[in-house]
Every structure is written in structure tokens, then in C-alpha cells.
């Protein structure tokens, strides 16, 4: 588990490689922090401003996780006021996990619902979201850095 400056460095690199920080959505929902009782946090989701992605199935996600190798897992930094699930945070809110992507993927039951599993080289990222399509199919993304657009 990475904490402090090391976790912040990984998170910052992910955002600079994958997230459209020039978009109005990013500026208003992520860059602009809102005050809550437990601190200042953003209100959006990073995956909402990841422009270079392909939707994939749950089966394709499992295969991708097997092939990612050493990876980082991070999640959105939200206030506990926005989370209705009891005992949601199993790790420090701003921690980043490091390990085999397959293991991180398999641990998704205890990790935050919006999960970004990015290969150590930052060349590909598996994004699991809390959202479902109207037919109940989970929204899962395979993302590439913006420079590959």
C-alpha cells in the first residue's frame, strides 16, 4: 500500500496521463473541491473525464486484469457524506494499492466501487464504475493515455 507523497505521485501521474483536465466538467467537479464535514473533496468521478476508452464486458475485464501485470489501484477521493455504504473505506481514503492487477481485480468486493487499475507503465487502465446501463450491465472501461488518441 502506498501512502502520502508516493500515493499522491501515482494519482497525479494517472490524472495527467488519462484525465482531460482542460474540460469544464473536470474544472467544476474535480479541480474545484467542495467542503464537507470530513474535509474538502471533489464531487465528480475521474472516469467521467477519461476521453480515450473502450467499453468492455465483465468477462473482458477479467481477462484484461490477468494480463495487466504489476499495477496500481486507486479510487476517487470523495467525502464520507456521499457514501451510503457502511464501513466503506477499508484502506486510507487517499491510499493507492500496488500489486498484481488480477489480485487487485479479485479484491474489488472490498475496494471502492469506482476503481482504476492502471498498469505500472501507465499504458493501459481498467476502470470499474458504480454505474450500470438501464439493462443492468455494468459500465466497465479499458482506457489508454490521452497521448494515444
Per-residue pLDDT of the chain (149 residues; tens, 9 = 90+): 999 999 999 999 999 999 999 999 999 999 999 999 989 999 899 999 999 999 999 999 999 999 999 999 999 998 888 887 877 888 888 999 999 999 999 998 899 889 999 999 999 999 999 877 777 778 899 999 998 75
Asked if residue 97 lies in contact with residue 49, where contact means CB atoms within 8 angstroms, the answer is: no
The percent helix, strand, coil of the chain (3-state, each to 5) is 35, 30, 40
Q: Which helix (H) or strand (E) holds 63?
A: helix 58-68
Per-residue confidence (pLDDT) for residue 145, from 0 to 100: 96
pLDDT at 61: 96
> What is residue 149's predicted lDDT score, i.e. its pLDDT?
59
Q: How far apart are CA 127 and CA 42, in angstroms?
A: 18
Mapped onto helix, strand or coil, the DSSP state of residue 119 is strand
Q: Model's pTM, two decimal places?
A: 0.92
Q: What is the pLDDT of residue 89?
A: 80
Give the chain's domain count. 1
Helix (H, G, I), strand (E, B) or coil at 56: strand
N-to-C CA span, the chain: 31
Of 123, 69, 113, 116, give the one whose Cα is nearest residue 97: 116
* Residue pair 114/130 in contact by the 8 Å Cβ criterion: yes
For residue 88, the tally of other CB atoms under 10 A from its CB is: 15
Give the structural domain span for 59.
4-148
Amino acid at each position: 500500500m502506498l501512502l502520502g507523497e508516493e500515493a499522491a505521485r501515482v494519482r497525479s501521474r494517472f490524472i495527467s496521463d488519462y484525465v482531460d483536465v482542460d474540460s469544464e466538467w473536470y474544472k467544476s467537479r474535480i479541480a474545484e473541491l467542495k467542503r464537507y464535514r470530513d474535509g474538502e473533496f471533489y464531487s465528480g468521478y475521474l472516469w467521467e473525464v477519461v476521453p480515450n476508452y473502450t467499453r468492455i464486458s465483465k468477462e473482458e475485464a477479467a481477462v484484461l486484469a490477468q494480463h495487466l501485470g504489476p499495477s496500481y489501484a486507486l479510487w476517487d477521493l470523495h467525502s464520507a457524506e456521499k457514501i451510503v455504504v457502511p464501513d466503506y473505506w477499508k484502506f486510507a481514503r487517499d491510499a493507492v494499492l500496488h500489486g498484481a492487477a488480477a489480485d487487485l481485480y479479485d479484491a474489488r468486493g472490498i475496494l471502492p466501487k469506482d476503481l482504476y487499475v492502471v498498469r505500472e507503465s501507465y499504458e493501459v487502465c481498467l476502470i470499474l464504475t458504480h454505474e450500470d446501463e438501464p439493462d443492468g450491465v455494468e459500465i466497465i472501461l479499458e482506457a489508454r493515455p490521452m497521448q494515444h488518441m
